[in-house]
Amino acid sequence: MSVVLVDYGAGNLPSVEGALRRLGVPSRRCSTPEPLADADAVILPGVGHFSPFAAALDRRGLRQPLLDAIAREVPFLGICLGLQALWEGSEEAPMARGLGVLPGRIAALPAGVKLPHMGWNRLRQLSGRTSRLLEGVAPDAYVYFAHSFAGSADGAVAVCDYGTTFTAVFERGALFGVQFHPEKSGAVGSVVLRNFLETAR
């Protein structure tokens, strides 16, 4: 299985690579469009600011190949900023363009709670929504978050409540995204990553 980790220059790739290796799955980094063409699964990790992230996707020519992979229904997992990239844009960087797979924009978490939202918080799996990523995960499991912006809860299979209610886990067909960091979420995170890889088998 060819698992491609998108390297846009500022992601925390070693952590994700380590998590995949502990699951016995090798991955390769890709900072050019070519490897995306024959990937069995694509992971788009992301940390930091939306603006350099979006700019790097364009500079490296990754935007269209990523959209093509999503259109071909190659299993795709966006992590943190990689999930946020699915929307049209973000309040964090009004001029930067997201991938625009989902309508609307990423918004800042409200003032009144400590920001960044950083640490272990509970998922709230929505009743009536089945989730492939969360199979075997407690519906209110603790996972690790580190972010100040988030996407609306529309279409989420699990949300998190912190100042507002936002998407913690998104799923639609082969398209997956998590606002938390599965590579930093201990045993629960490993299960989520394993479940994602299962969808690519």
Residue 140: which region, alpha, beta or left (left: phi > 0; alpha: psi -120 to 50)? alpha
Name the residues annotated as catalytic: 80, 181, 183
Q: Which of 63, 9, 1, 8 is nearest to 38 (CA)?
A: 1
Nearer to another protein, 101 or 156 (CB): 156
Please, which residue, 7 or 70, has the CB nearer to another protein? Answer: 7
Between the alpha carbon of residue 84 and those of residues 38, 104, 108, 114, the distances in Å are 24, 11, 12, 20
Point out which residues bind another protein (CB under 8 A): 12, 14-15, 17-19, 21-22, 47-49, 114-122, 142, 144, 146-148, 160-162, 181, 183-187, 189-190
Query: What number of residues does the chain have?
Result: 201
Query: Identity (one letter) of the amino acid at 37?
Result: A
Nearer to another protein, 171 or 183 (CB): 183
> C-beta of 160: minimal distance to another protein in Å?
7
| CA–CA separation, 52 and 46 (whole Å) | 11
Q: How far is the CB of 117 from another protein (least distance, A)?
A: 8
Minimal distance, residue 14 CB to another protein, in Å: 4
